[in-house]
């Protein structure tokens, strides 16, 4: 068996929080932890690609996932090295061939609704017609078990707040949980990890604490993951793309509550209904919970 390819990489992950002093409503001075947001500029063969605001916990994976999800580099073997230097807030990605073919797409970008403003290169939209995910069935009881497990994973959020979390899951197991100041950074870092491990997404579930926008649906579909789960809400474009690409979309997931916006046929309802449950017709009623 051929050894799995891995580019030369630094391991420059940083602590996600710093301690500062805050004054509470009683004028008590308290030491509190806050998320430490840093700029990271990605250079590909000495060409500046983008500056991302990030916690900096997984910078090499973030670079890999960003380049993959944006379609800038399509084959991991093309990447020779990733060197992150926080003294200049830069990540230098070198390829083997230093091809200039990818530069043609850099002029056309769409600013998304991601926290911190994500970007999607417009040529990605043209490639979406090639994606149609195979259905994957998920039991209601597994969703409940997974939500319980995910509740133990928001370490940075519990410590400092101000971040989003994303997770790669299989059944009730959380395989990888990454937090960052923007959910698009967290999903890119997980995509980078999957790329390094040559991991398939067909039997996986993707979880995010953020809203399900078009960007989130696109990235999860590109990773080959058929189920997208969020504790927050969705957007109209996110729903449209989920229907087009075959992504099962579950939102407002918390405790034993969730709403299926797409792919109801892929959810197996194996939990018994509570006695005397009154089923209300909620059609047309606005969701009162604010999106995060």
Return the axis-axis angle of helices 59-69 and 183-197, rounded to nearest 10°: 90
pTM of the model: 0.85
User: What is the three-class DSSP state of 249?
Assistant: strand
Q: Which mean pLDDT values do the consecutive 10-residue runs of the chain (292 residues) have? A: 82 95 92 93 92 96 94 92 97 83 56 47 64 94 95 83 91 95 93 96 96 92 96 94 95 94 96 63 49 42
From the candidate CATH numbers 3.30.70.270, 3.40.140.10, 3.40.30.10, 3.50.50.60, the one assigned to the domain spanning 138-268: 3.40.140.10
Domains 8-14+33-128 and 138-268 share a fold: no
Sequence-distant (6+) residues with CB within 8 A of 128 are 218, 221, 241, 244, 245
Write out the two tokens for 166.
């994303």
Distance CA 78, CA 150 (A): 35
Sequence-distant (6+) residues with CB within 8 A of 245 are 128, 131, 132, 133, 217, 221
Domain boundaries, the chain: 8-14+33-128, 138-268
Distance CA 267, CA 263 (A): 7
Alpha helix stretches (DSSP H) within the chain? 59-69, 123-127, 140-150, 155-160, 183-197, 214-222, 236-245
**Tell me, what's the pLDDT at 157?**
81
- Cβ contact 69:219 at 8 Å: yes
- Cβ contact 157:292 at 8 Å: no
Q: Does domain 8-14+33-128 have CATH number 3.10.20.10?
A: yes
Nearest to 208 by CA among 266, 166, 247: 166
Nearest to 207 by CA among 264, 266, 253: 253
């Amino acid at each position: 068996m051929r050894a799995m390819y891995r580019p030369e990489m630094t391991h420059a992950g940083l602590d996600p929080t710093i301690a500062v002093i805050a004054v509470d409503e009683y004028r008590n001075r308290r030491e509190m932890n806050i998320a430490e947001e840093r700029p990271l500029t990605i250079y590909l063969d000495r060409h500046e690609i983008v500056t991302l605001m990030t916690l900096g916990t997984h910078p090499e994976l973030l670079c890999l996932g960003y380049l993959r999800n944006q379609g800038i580099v399509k084959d991991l073997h093309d990447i020779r090295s990733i060197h992150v230097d926080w003294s200049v807030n830069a990540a230098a990605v070198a390829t083997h061939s230093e091809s200039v073919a990818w530069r043609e797409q850099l002029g056309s970008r769409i600013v998304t609704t991601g926290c911190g403003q994500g970007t999607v290169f417009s040529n990605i939209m043209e490639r979406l017609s090639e994606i149609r995910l195979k259905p994957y069935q998920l039991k209601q009881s597994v969703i409940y078990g997974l939500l319980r497990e995910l509740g133990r994973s928001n370490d940075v959020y519990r410590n400092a707040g101000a971040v989003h979390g994303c997770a790669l899951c299989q059944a009730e197991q959380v395989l990888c949980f990454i937090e960052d100041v923007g959910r698009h950074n967290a999903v890119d870092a997980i995509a980078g990890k999957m790329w390094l491990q040559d991991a398939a997404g067909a039997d996986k579930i993707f979880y995010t604490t953020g809203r399900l926008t078009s960007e989130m649906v696109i990235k999860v579909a590109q990773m080959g993951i058929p189920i997208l789960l969020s504790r927050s809400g969705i957007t109209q474009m996110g729903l449209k793309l989920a229907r087009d690409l075959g992504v099962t979309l579950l939102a407002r997931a918390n405790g034993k509550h969730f709403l299926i916006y797409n792919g109801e046929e892929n959810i197996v309802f194996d939990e018994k209904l509570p006695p005397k449950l009154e089923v209300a017709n909620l059609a047309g009623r606005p969701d009162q919970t604010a999106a995060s």
